[in-house]
Amino acid sequence: MGTLNLEALSFRYPGGGDAALEDVTLAIPAGRVFGLLGPNGAGKTTLISILAGQLRGATGRISADGETLEALRRRRPHTLGLVPQEYAFYPMLTCAENLRFFGAMQGLAGTRLKERIAAAAAFARIENVLSRRAGRLSGGLKRRLNLAIGLLGEPEILLLDEPTVGVDPQSRAFLLESIRSLAAADRTILYTSHYMEEVEAICDHVAIIDHGRVLVSGELSEVTRDDSGLQELFMRLTHRSLRD
């Protein structure tokens, strides 16, 4: 998978006022973790939702390997994996049942499904809790199950929307390490977070957006050259006023 290119992407919610995204142009390279930063309401989740195919009606172009993402996904339906910020699984099902269900929804079956469940569970280190109800897991285990589900189809593009919210430092360290290792396998990873230290720790490229516009984009070392760190750059660009 080559670079994921977003060209002049714009989106407005039906009945909404201002554009949620306006003229967003980004190049998200493969084999790296791309950090997408922005205050609440900046448009991060909207951008991820458009890439994941949940929102329709965006203008502009999204492409990879010379073809549009839509065409690519039609050809290879499970090119893209999503790990949303919510616990997007069924709390009343066990971890194994959740993995089996979401695996089946990606067209996996039989031995292949079993292999992928075992691999994803091992990667997220949830093998020991597979028989437990997902709703009864700790916050850290829930996040790991969420990640495992996103990896079932071995996606080439992985969208991670604040995947470490509400977890303890140990689980966070494990998740960050895991995400870093995923990029090494030549995946294209888009990572959103409010935690600057996380982004500085695992991302090679970053973009800061606010009010649906890209304020800065590039390699982490380049964009922070004139500032003492990502936090200072972020505050300088997005200002200190409180957001909703």
- Name, in order, each residue with C-beta under 8 angstroms of 60's C-beta and a sequence gap of 6 or more: 6, 7, 8, 9, 10, 23, 24
One-letter amino acid identity for 52?
Answer: A
166 binds another protein (CB under 8 A): no
- Name, in order, each residue with C-beta under 8 angstroms of 45's C-beta and a sequence gap of 6 or more: 85, 161, 192
One-letter amino acid identity for 135?
Answer: G
- Select from 49, 164, 188, 238 the one that contacts another protein (CB under 8 A): 49
Tokens for 206, please give them. Answer: 């970053």
- Name, in order, each residue with C-beta under 8 angstroms of 220's C-beta and a sequence gap of 6 or more: 35, 199, 200, 203, 204, 205, 206, 230
- What is the closest distance, in whole angstroms, from the C-beta atom of residue 225 to another protein in the complex? 32
Q: Do 60 and 10 meet the contact criterion of CB atoms below 8 Å apart?
A: yes
218 binds another protein (CB under 8 A): no
- What is the closest distance, in whole angstroms, from the C-beta atom of residue 77 to another protein in the complex? 5
- What is the closest distance, in whole angstroms, from the C-beta atom of residue 138 to another protein in the complex? 17
For another protein (CB under 8 A), the number of binding residues is 40
Closer residue to another protein, CB minimum distance, 51 or 206? 51
- What is the closest distance, in whole angstroms, from the C-beta atom of residue 75 to another protein in the complex? 12
- Order of all β-strands in the sheet with 188-192: 80-83, 157-161, 188-192, 32-37, 205-210, 213-219
Closer residue to another protein, CB minimum distance, 56 or 240? 56
Interacting span for another protein (CB under 8 A) from 25-33, 47-55, 202-210, 218-226: 47-55
Alpha-helical (H) ranges within 124-159 are 139-151
Q: Give the residue from 58, 56, 60, 55 showing the smallest Cα distance to 45.
A: 55
138 binds another protein (CB under 8 A): no
- What is the closest distance, in whole angstroms, from the C-beta atom of residue 30 to another protein in the complex? 20
| Alpha-carbon dihedral sign for residues 224, 198, 146, 126 | positive
Q: How far apart are CA 192 and CA 190, in angstroms?
A: 7
13 binds another protein (CB under 8 A): yes
Closer residue to another protein, CB minimum distance, 71 or 184? 71
Tokens for 205, please give them. Answer: 């490229």
- Select from 10, 90, 180, 201 the one that contacts another protein (CB under 8 A): 90
87 binds another protein (CB under 8 A): yes
- Select from 67, 107, 185, 243 the one that contacts another protein (CB under 8 A): 107
92 binds another protein (CB under 8 A): yes
Q: What are φ and ψ of residue 3, in 5° steps?
A: -70, 140
230 binds another protein (CB under 8 A): no
Positions in the binding site for another protein (CB under 8 A): 13-14, 20, 41, 45-46, 48-49, 52-57, 73, 77-78, 80, 82, 84-93, 97, 100-102, 104-107, 109, 149, 153
